[in-house]
Amino acid sequence: MSSVREQAERLIELGVDRMAGLPADRLRNLPDSSDALLVVHPDLTPPSRLAPLLRVNDKPGFVVTDMVDVDEFAPIPSVKLPDAPLYLLRDLDRGDAMANWSPDEALPAIIEAGRTPLTLSEGVHWLLQRPDVLARGRCFMTIGSRRRKAAGSLDARTPAVWISTGTGRDGPANRDAPKVGWCWAGNRHTWLGFASASGRFSVG
């Protein structure tokens, strides 16, 4: 992972500071570190606006057409985001060891290991800095985000980021592009791990 200051410059280059309504110097003046991911709070930078900034295989990112409610996927109760516009995530892992697990199976195991699942916004931030983390056959879910329905129950969809094959509604123009989509909470996929971190820390 590049340093926090290098990550700040990357976000400024992409216009994320303007999107969030933060002065560029606020990002540039953060304490430096080389072992953490810099994240802008999702209240300031919703996934629908971040996803098109992704670039993998020289293709921009997109959100699947049947996920128009992507910004309604909020942190689950066990995920506590710092009450700050900027924070750090430490010790990121793509979760390859849990490939072919379902989200329902993976969440308790992640928590039992003393880790926290990434939210969708955090997963996109990771890929903005490290697009190489996403590879065909080695992609990840972000089960720290779920959508709560009006009755209080959870939507059965769980968000994920993977590489499109350009089939179906994705369209051939999106082949090999980074894709924000979803999978059912009870389903398993051999090519999806479960991204997690050791913790979150406020920096500004």
pLDDT of residue 149: 87
- pLDDT band for position 153 (cuts 50, 70, 90): confident
Global pTM?
A: 0.96
pLDDT of residue 130: 97
- Average pLDDT of every residue of the chain: 96
- Give the whole-number percent of the chain exceeding pLDDT 70: 100
Distance from CA of residue 164 to its chain's centroid? 16
Task: Burial-class residue 89 by CB neighbours within 10 Å (0-12, 13-18, 19+).
Answer: buried
If we measure between CA atoms, which residue out of 38, 200, 199 comes closest to residue 129?
Answer: 38
Give whole-number Cα distances, 152 to 69, 78, 107, 145, 146, in Å.
Answer: 16, 16, 19, 15, 12
Q: Are 94 and 133 in contact (CB under 8 A)?
A: yes
Q: What is the dihedral of CA 152, 158, 164, 170, to 10 degrees?
A: -20
Six token digits for residue 120: 């969708």
- pLDDT band for position 191 (cuts 50, 70, 90): very high
Six token digits for residue 187: 């389903």
Residue 101 and residue 104: Cα distance in Å, rounded? Answer: 8
Residue 126 and residue 144: Cα distance in Å, rounded? Answer: 14
Is pLDDT at 71 greater than 90 in this prediction? yes
Six token digits for residue 130: 């490290």
- pLDDT band for position 113 (cuts 50, 70, 90): very high
Number of neighbours of residue 191 by Cβ within 10 angstroms = 16
